[in-house]
Chains A and B, each alone.
Chain A
Amino acid sequence: DGGITQSPKYLFRKEGQNVTLSCEQNLNHDAMYWYRQDPGQGLRLIYYSQIVNDFQKGDIAEGYSVSREKKESFPLTVTSAQKNPTAFYLCASSIVGVGTGELFFGEGSRLTVL
């Protein structure tokens, strides 16, 4: 089935450790996104990418890094520089261009820093 797969669903990490969240899509979408959601809050944009090997910072990129080596993959690394990394992370994809496509979201990864 077509869709977006995020892994792991739950992740625990110690302070000072980097962690990488996986996001894969088989929808053949050009654009991919990472959002962060805190309890009772909306989604805040971390990074987004329209094409391979190119990505842009969103509103809260500090402490995060991404790569886009393949069209279908957009992993997010939460670095030790991120001061408050505990959150729900959502990956999404969309078509780009005429029609301004809807975002298709994965099921999310919940990161807890111990």
Chain B
Amino acid sequence: SQKIEQNSEALNIQEGKTATLTCNYTNYSPAYLQWYRQDPGRGPVFLLLIRENEKEKRKERLKVTFDTTLKQSLFHITASQPADSATYLCALDVSNSGYALNFGKGTSLLVTP
């Protein structure tokens, strides 16, 4: 079966450090992958999309990589701040619908001052 796996353990880092979150998938070759941020009790908010032909994408302090050989995406937050504390979800289309996304369970990030 197709799976999307993210680190289940929470990631605790110190302010100013770089946070790196991992998303692995199996048995699928997605055309793109998306990352979302979710705060407690709120709906997820889109952060970045990376396509299969792109190795890296950046947006301000965020960087996403996509290795289709390893079937893995890495999500980096540089110069992390306490306000970055949230759960981060990766998502991809595993249904071959072309648009409906399936999500990983998310990784909780806590940035401490």
- Residues on A lying within 8 angstroms of B by beta carbon are 31, 33, 35, 40-45, 48, 50, 56, 58-59, 88, 90, 92, 94, 96, 100-108, 110
Contacts and interface: CB of A to CB of B under 8 A. Distances in A.
Contacts of A59: 102
Contacts, number: 66
Interface of B: 4, 6, 31-32, 34, 36, 41-46, 49, 89, 91, 93, 95, 97-106
B55 to A, nearest CB: 18
A102 B100 contact: no
A106 B43 contact: yes
Nearest to B48: A102
A50 B4 CA distance: 24
A96 B99 CA distance: 6
A105 B44 contact: yes
A107 B99 contact: no
B105 A102 contact: no
A31 B4 CA distance: 23
